[in-house]
Amino acid sequence: MGPAGAPTRLVCLPHAGASGDVYAAWSGDLAGALEVWGATPAGRRHRSGEPLNVDPGRLVDEVVAEVTTDSRPLVVFGHSMGALIGYELSLALSTQGRPPTALVVSGCPPPHVRTARASRDYSDDELAATLVDWGGTEQQLIEDADLRRLTFPPLRADLTLCDRYRRDHPVALDLPLSVLAGRSDPVAPADQMAGWAAYSNDFRGVTQFRGGHFFVTEQRRRVVDHVADLAMHALTAGRRRHER
């Protein structure tokens, strides 16, 4: 996504129904300090000709294949569904001996405390209600037929993917893990987020931001600055360990 050539990449995983384009503005915000790469799942944007995917393992494998073509250090950020994929991506890369420099998860309860749901079809009315519950989408927009035709298929696929995701027991990563939370987030209540501590041997705590589930959009500059600071501190600490 750009700017290419930065010494470190920031791999960004989107929320359900979205593409990597939701992080397009982050490149300008970061002013070249990090190269932002937004993952786009199948069936949307430049991958619109591909069938939608409902397999979380397949999505993780796709992102692993993309990011391992480059040897530069990377920091992983994921919001909502992207937090689950970001964790699994970090675990897969660590297993390969190529762990990220740091992981930042946002707007998602820890995997082992998420409410388990049976995989099912979602009706259009259920998808509309979900978007309203999440906030950030007005009812009148959701009732637009063209908007439904464009947004509902990938959202339905991603919600099914999340239903199929399971991790009953935490596996701790050997890398810094930071958590971001919206103070009024109905999807990922801030008081649940400390449970992510079990997923890293270097847990950096929970930082709360004003807003609901899409606080990352409402407070974009604050969030980006926070992620950049975390990334730079992790990179500096990593270099010091390497030099010892």
User: Beta strand pairing status for 74-79 and 35-38?
Assistant: unpaired
Global pTM reads 0.92
Share of the chain above pLDDT 90, in %: 74
Is the confidence at residue 238, as pLDDT, over 70? no
**ω into 3 cis (within 30 of 0):** yes
Summarised one tens digit per residue, pLDDT across range 51-63 is 999 999 999 999 9
Q: How far apart are CA 213 and CA 236, in angstroms?
A: 31
Residue written as tokens 């950049």? 228
Q: Kindly report, residue by residue over 114-153, the tens digit of the pLDDT.
A: 866 666 788 888 888 888 888 866 666 677 888 888 889 9
Instruction: Report the pLDDT value the prediction gives residue 163, as an integer from 0 to 100.
Output: 93
Percentage of the residues of the chain whose pLDDT score is greater than 70: 91
- What stretch of H or E contains 103? strand 102-106
| Residue 96 burial class via C-beta count within 10 angstroms: exposed 0-12, middle 13-18, buried 19 and up | exposed
CB 19 within 8 A of CB 44: yes
pLDDT at 239: 63
Q: Taking residues 96-123, what's their average pLDDT?
A: 88
Nearest to 110 by CA among 172, 23, 183: 172
